[in-house]
Amino acid sequence: MAQSPVFLGKNRIRLSEVSSTNDFLQDLLSKTSPMEGTVISADSQLQGRGQLGAKWFSDSHKNLSFSVYLEPVFLAATEIFYLSKMSSIAIVNALHKLYPKEKFLIKWPNDIYHENKKIAGILIENALQNDHVKHTIIGIGLNVNTENISSHIPAATSIYDIVHIEQDREAVLYHILKSLEEFYLLLKNKDITTIDNLYFDNLLYFNQICWFELQDGQQKQGKIVDIEKSGLLVVEWPSLERESFDVKQLKWIF
């Protein structure tokens, strides 16, 4: 049986309201030296941030919004995508343990989906020093108890909307931190093969034909065949030609 988290969340700062838990942690870092594994959580985020400058909206007191402080100094700058891999498989693993009948998948690069709807998002902010990671902030937003979330965010779902039972947010957080610690230690031990395999095993639409929209608006069918070490998505077109993309360069159409 997996152990309880040893260091993740040992130092926990619980806030009732904050602009963004990632920003709070950034600010804390500019003033003090928090211990590795510090977790900042908030019942309400006024200016939650998402990837690519998007906003992250979450109902107050219903969901999980938290940030984890880590010092993965063992990672080279070229390996930072492993933080995305490690954190997304950790969330999927925790959700599968909590809800074994449900299937959760990773939408590249690090969104967590249930049946084509997003249930969690991750915002990772790294500081680099001499070609290595100095520290990282892993901000996680998970839709837990919002009811009928798709009525206001059509492409989203929540645990409540899947299982129809109100969840204990602290219990869900505990499982996620435990899993995050487990996979972080795997990464620290350089068990890259396990992490790579789990990421591909849980990757939405891996090796399946789907529709993509390119930056110029062109829509094309292709399949995801690989992820580069840097995190770029490798798509194979029907011509068998392969092309790599970053998140800004393509969207996919469900």
Local structure of 47: helix, strand or coil: coil
Chain Cα centroid distance, residue 230: 16
Among 5, 8, 9, 22, binds ligand BTN (CB under 6 A): 22
| The amino acid at 230 | S
Q: How far apart are CA 126 and CA 121, in angstroms?
A: 16
- Count of beta carbons in the 10 Å neighbourhood of residue 92: 24
Q: Which stretch binds ligand BTN (CB under 6 A): 43-51, 143-151, 164-172, 236-244?
A: 43-51
Distance of CA 135 to the CA centre of its chain: 17
Contact call for residue 48 and ligand BTN (CB under 6 A): yes
Any contact of residue 20 with ligand BTN (CB under 6 A)? yes
C-beta of 237: minimal distance to ligand BTN in Å?
A: 27
Report if residue 158 touches ligand BTN, rule: CB under 6 A: no
3-state secondary structure of 204: coil
Least distance between ligand BTN and beta carbon 150 (Å): 16
* Total number of residues that touch ligand BTN (CB under 6 A): 20
* 67 vs 93 by CB, closer to ligand BTN: 67
When asked if residue 49 is in the footprint of ligand BTN (CB under 6 A), the reply is: yes
Site for ligand BTN in 71-130 (CB under 6 A): 111, 121-123
Task: Tell me if 39 contacts ligand BTN by CB under 6 A.
Answer: no
- The C-alpha atoms of residue 138 and residue 91 are separated, in whole angstroms, by 12
Distance CA 10, CA 175 (A): 14
Instruction: Give the DSSP letter of residue 37.
Output: T
41: Cα separation from own chain's centroid? 16
Determine the interface stretch with ligand BTN among 48-56, 193-201, 209-217, 226-234 (rule: CB under 6 A): 48-56
Residues that bind ligand BTN (CB under 6 A): 20-22, 45, 48-51, 54, 56, 65-67, 111, 121-123, 139-141
